[in-house]
Amino acid sequence: MSPPNSHDQILVQIASYNTNLQGSSGVPQDLVDWLSPTLQVSSFLSGSHPRSPDIVAVGFQELLPLHLGFSGFSTSVLSRLSSHILSQIETHSPANDSKYTLIAQVVNVGVALLIYARDDRIAEKVRDVQTSWTGCGPCWMGNKGAVGVRLSINGETYTFVCAHLNAHAQNLDRRIKDFHYIVSTLLFPALPSSKDKTPTTMYSSSHLFFFGDLNFRVIPKLPTSSTLAPSEYVAELIGGHIHTQSQSQSPDISRQLEILKEHDQLLTERRKGSVFHGFKEGEFWRFKCSYKYHLGAVDHYNTKRIPSWTDRILYATYSDDPDVGLDVSNIKNLSYTSIPSYTTSDHKPIVAMLLLPPPSGPDPESTQDSSDSTSTPLLSAPLISVALSHAPTPDPHATIKRYTGRTVDRVVGVVWWTFRILGAGHAAVGVLNVVLVTAVWSWWNSKGG
């Protein structure tokens, strides 16, 4: 295969990681395996001249312990991580001398997103940067939900959404509702070129990326002869080695993964048309299930849960036909994989390299001459199309819901943190201490003390 003519096409790297509530300690010092998997891809794109991604989007879920996230400490944790990530992107850049700028960062409780742009190709062209967040936990709390960044480059609008949806296999309906809730409440200001100034959903984009711990599970159909639990069956099927210490893979592991993907909830629901309308996805079954691993293990599943591809990266672009195939896209998915070497979480981080289609038109800044009064005005950004039956509608109460959720977050966080302090790091002990002190105080008062 000959390399594509990609000089004018933007190369986007999407990276996502559920760090298992570990804060800064959940991200290793050396991030080359996760954030710089581009050597082979860049060589394919540009032959002897390695190419670095133009945009790097890094998303986190379960960034830090919930009591700290609810209390509002997420921003300081993310700020500490952002400079480290930037240095790692630059240090391990395939082109060696590529420099990047942090364009935007946003966090809500444990869901976070950082966007970096390459200085010599993209950073100076970025315009109209906006951020948004929403929670879909109980009372709209942020333990589940999404954060988003929108920006404009050369007249095209890019939206990045990092999400954490409801967990557990039986909560499929909740996950579907979470997605639709995020669509209606993760709102951005009207596009600069629009006469309608009402808020817009993430679909008002030329290019849209949705990723994170989406929590869709594998529900396998076990052979009648199997005596294993579903989680054990899947782990053994894909080489999880739950009953042996062997680290060798089955020679037909790729075939087994391809069969297993037919039992993936997200793929099944996308085929039904119940969720992620207009989105495409690469061949996620080319890598092993990203969850649930034993902590410290490279390739050893914890069978308290059925191994599943919970961590995913989906995308849409304005030139795609939403009615032609779930995976047929003008975005070229050059690489889509997990990183097994990271062992401090029960999830494996994932990463995708996406080559966007050629721009819809020339760079407006390069074609307009401010001294020429006859210059053509900027056209509206091309936008993703979805079927009328799935047209997204902004929730008129989105702002009230978001800030109600944030208020509840803070109250729960402070109370939870207080109990942990009283319990020397254990909230349950703190509650017990409060109960005992209250009981003793009541007894003392009843004795007239």
**How do residues 431-442 score in pLDDT, each as one tens digit?**
565 566 566 556
Return all residues near 13 (Cβ < 8 A) that are at least 6 apart. Answer: 35, 38, 53, 55, 56, 57, 351, 352, 353, 354
**Type and span of the H or E element at 437:** helix 427-446
Are 442 and 297 contained in the same domain?
A: no
Average pLDDT, the chain: 85
pLDDT above 60: residue 4: no
Q: Is residue 226 one of the residues assigned to a domain?
A: yes
Closest CA to 337 of 394, 283, 271, 259: 283
Q: Are 149 and 106 in contact (CB under 8 A)?
A: yes
Are 441 and 315 contained in the same domain?
A: no
Q: Is residue 3 one of the residues assigned to a domain?
A: no
Are 377 and 427 contained in the same domain?
A: no
- CA 405 to each of CA 106, 187, 224, 299, 410: distance values in angstroms, whole numbers, following the listed order: 16, 16, 46, 38, 9
Are 383 and 403 contained in the same domain?
A: no
The backbone torsions φ and ψ at residue 129, rounded to the nearest 5 degrees and listed phi first, read -75, 130
Structure tokens at 348: 């494996």
Q: Are 427 and 67 in contact (CB under 8 A)?
A: yes
Q: Is residue 6 one of the residues assigned to a domain?
A: no
- Reported in sequence order, the residue ranges of 341-426 that DSSP labels E, i.e. its strands, are 350-355
Last residue of a domain, one of 352, 371, 395: 395
CA dist., res. 102 & res. 79, Å (int): 11
Q: Is residue 5 one of the residues assigned to a domain?
A: no
CA dist., res. 277 & res. 297, Å (int): 36
Confidence (pLDDT) at 397: 97
Q: Are 153 and 126 in contact (CB under 8 A)?
A: yes
Are 304 and 290 contained in the same domain?
A: yes
Lowest mean pLDDT, pick from 98-112, 273-287, 312-326: 312-326
Are 360 and 406 contained in the same domain?
A: no
pLDDT digits (tens, 9 = 90+) for 312-362: 999 999 999 877 878 889 999 999 999 999 999 999 999 999 999 998 766
Q: Is residue 199 one of the residues assigned to a domain?
A: yes
Are 202 and 291 contained in the same domain?
A: yes
CA dist., res. 393 & res. 185, Å (int): 9
Q: Which amino acid is at 77?
A: V
Last residue of a domain, one of 351, 377, 395: 395
pLDDT above 80: residue 35: yes
Angle at 10 between CA 6 and CA 16, to 5 degrees: 125
Q: Is residue 87 one of the residues assigned to a domain?
A: yes
Q: Is residue 4 one of the residues assigned to a domain?
A: no
Lowest mean pLDDT, pick from 135-139, 158-162, 218-222: 218-222
Are 409 and 429 contained in the same domain?
A: yes
Q: Say what the pTM is.
A: 0.89
**Type and span of the H or E element at 126:** strand 126-135
Are 283 and 412 contained in the same domain?
A: no
Are 391 and 402 contained in the same domain?
A: no
Are 273 and 417 contained in the same domain?
A: no
Using 50, 70 and 90 to split pLDDT, how confident is the model at 48? Answer: low
CA dist., res. 287 & res. 238, Å (int): 10
Are 300 and 417 contained in the same domain?
A: no
Domain interval for residue 403: 397-449
Lowest mean pLDDT, pick from 32-41, 79-88, 224-233, 234-243: 32-41
CA dist., res. 127 & res. 108, Å (int): 23
What domain count does the chain have?
A: 2
